[in-house]
């Protein structure tokens, strides 16, 4: 393997995509003594955001687990950052950019994992006539919802660079035999209409996209075995897969081993001419493990049963808040329920105060310099506010609110 093959196409100053890659939606304030690069600055802005902190109580696969050793979404994004760093560092790519994309790629992910995403998607299509997919919602969160205080305590949107925002919205999708090449053109990222519609703009974004797959396949198997989701016959199926791909013993089919072999294989087979690519054997292994996980883990009856519970939780919160809608009198109606639903009313009022036009009429809101997202006289925008509020929740907080509105 030759180290640093991608150095000439890396997202570094002087390369052809550099100017677009570091472009921000708005000029950002500068610190005279700041020693960070633009991408390192994005990394710390994401790290300090409240949406990043909430990832520790958001589902990866197994909902609201009480087992401290089961993967949550914050652990997943850090696995992706680790895998991306190793690959990018070896290939000669910009590791600061992969780090920022990786820890930000699931911000704003719905509670209860992809089950929660599907439930919110159904609500969005039915109520607002729009689609909901977590990559687009992550872009929405980093662009419009998450804020950080400046030196005077005023809240501003994160205002990340184009390359980081692009890597976030383009991180999902499958890896195929044609490998991954970055696209050449830069465009408005909100023009992307569906998941996996376009490849990322940078090679670094392509690395994160693949690292996402490397990071979850083996870890999901580990968690399923720890929670006794896999039966004896299913474990034997893992033995067969291990023998087919190099006589791997079943107790070696874990995240550590798979990460190592996938990373080495990817680094061996990738080049600017061939793209970011696995060998045919390891691409087949990814497909085989993915099919195994879908058949025996993701469609397991315990997860199916919990999805019904997640749907009840999310629908109950959504309809409780929607029933309070009275155009410009909505805040008054919400106040009537404060003694009954104190946590729900307080936190949702805080959300509207920060992001709606009604909240901004209060003199105390002067510290909020972020974008206004909702006009309360518009029912669809109010419904969007409810969806955004729910999508930012952790599993634990959604369950807490559900218990509040269903307990007498």
Bridge partners, 24 (sequence order): 161
Q: Is the pLDDT of residue 177 over 60?
A: no
Per residue in 6-43, pLDDT (tens digit) is: 888 888 888 889 999 999 998 887 777 888 899 999 99
Per residue in 102-141, pLDDT (tens digit) is: 999 999 899 999 999 999 999 999 999 999 989 999 999 9
Q: What percent of the chain has pLDDT over 90?
A: 65
Cα–Cα dist 273/245, whole Å: 27
Q: How many CB atoms lie within 10 A of CB 299?
A: 10
Q: What is the mean pLDDT of residues 348-364?
A: 80
8 A C-beta contact, residue 54 and residue 234: no
pLDDT value at residue 152:
83
pLDDT value at residue 35:
87
| CA-wise closest residue to 173 among 183, 161, 184 | 183
pLDDT value at residue 124:
95
Cα–Cα dist 108/391, whole Å: 6
Cα–Cα dist 259/231, whole Å: 24
The least confident of 83-97, 253-267, 276-290 is: 253-267
Q: What are phi and psi of 251, to 5 degrees?
A: -75, 0
Q: Is the pLDDT of residue 176 over 60?
A: no
Q: What is the mean pLDDT of residues 2-7?
A: 86
Domain residue limits, the chain: 7-107+146-298, 301-406
| CA-wise closest residue to 58 among 407, 394, 357 | 394
Kindly report the pTM of this predicted structure. 0.94
- For 7-107+146-298, which CATH class? mainly alpha
pLDDT value at residue 141:
95
8 A C-beta contact, residue 395 and residue 59: yes
Contacts of residue 289, defined as CB under 8 A and 6 or more positions apart, other chains included, come to 217, 218, 221, 241, 258
């Amino acid at each position: 393997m030759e180290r640093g093959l991608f150095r000439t196409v890396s997202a570094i100053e002087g390369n052809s995509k550099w100017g677009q890659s570091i472009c921000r939606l708005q000029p950002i304030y500068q610190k005279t003594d700041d020693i960070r690069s633009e991408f390192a600055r994005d990394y710390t802005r994401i790290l300090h955001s409240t949406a990043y902190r909430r990832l520790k109580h958001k589902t990866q696969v197994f909902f609201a687990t009480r087992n401290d050793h089961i993967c949550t979404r914050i652990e997943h994004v850090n696995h992706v950052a680790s895998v991306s760093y190793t690959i990018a560092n070896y290939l000669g790519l910009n590791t600061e950019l992969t780090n920022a994309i990786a820890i930000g790629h699931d911000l704003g992910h719905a509670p209860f994992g992809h089950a929660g995403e599907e439930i919110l998607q159904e609500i969005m299509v039915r109520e607002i006539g729009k689609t909901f997919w977590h990559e687009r919602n992550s872009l929405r969160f980093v662009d419009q919802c998450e804020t950080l205080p400046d030196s005077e305590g005023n809240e501003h949107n994160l205002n990340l660079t184009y390359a980081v925002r692009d890597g976030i919205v383009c991180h999902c999708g499958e890896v195929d035999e044609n490998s991954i090449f970055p696209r050449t053109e830069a465009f408005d990222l909100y023009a992307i209409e569906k998941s996996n519609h376009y490849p990322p703009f940078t090679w670094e974004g392509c690395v994160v996209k693949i690292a996402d797959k490397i990071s979850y396949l083996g870890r999901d198997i580990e968690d399923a075995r720890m929670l006794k989701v896999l039966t004896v016959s299913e474990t034997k199926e893992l033995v067969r897969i291990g023998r087919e791909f190099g006589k791997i013993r079943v107790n070696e089919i874990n995240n550590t081993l798979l990460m190592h072999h996938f990373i080495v294989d990817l680094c061996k087979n990738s080049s600017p001419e061939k793209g970011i690519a696995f060998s045919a054997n390891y691409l087949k292994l990814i497909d085989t493990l993915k099919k195994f996980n879908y058949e025996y883990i993701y469609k397991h009856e315990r997860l199916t049963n919990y999805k019904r519970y997640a749907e009840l939780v999310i629908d109950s919160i959504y309809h409780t808040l929607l029933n309070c809608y009275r155009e410009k009198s909505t805040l008054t109606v919400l106040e009537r329920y404060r003694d009954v639903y104190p946590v729900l009313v307080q936190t949702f009022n805080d959300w509207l105060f920060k992001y709606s036009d009604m909240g901004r009429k209060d003199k105390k809101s002067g510290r909020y310099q972020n974008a206004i997202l909702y006009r309360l006289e518009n029912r669809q925008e109010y419904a969007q506010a409810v969806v955004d509020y729910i999508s930012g929740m952790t599993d634990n907080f959604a369950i807490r609110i559900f218990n509040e509105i269903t307990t007498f």
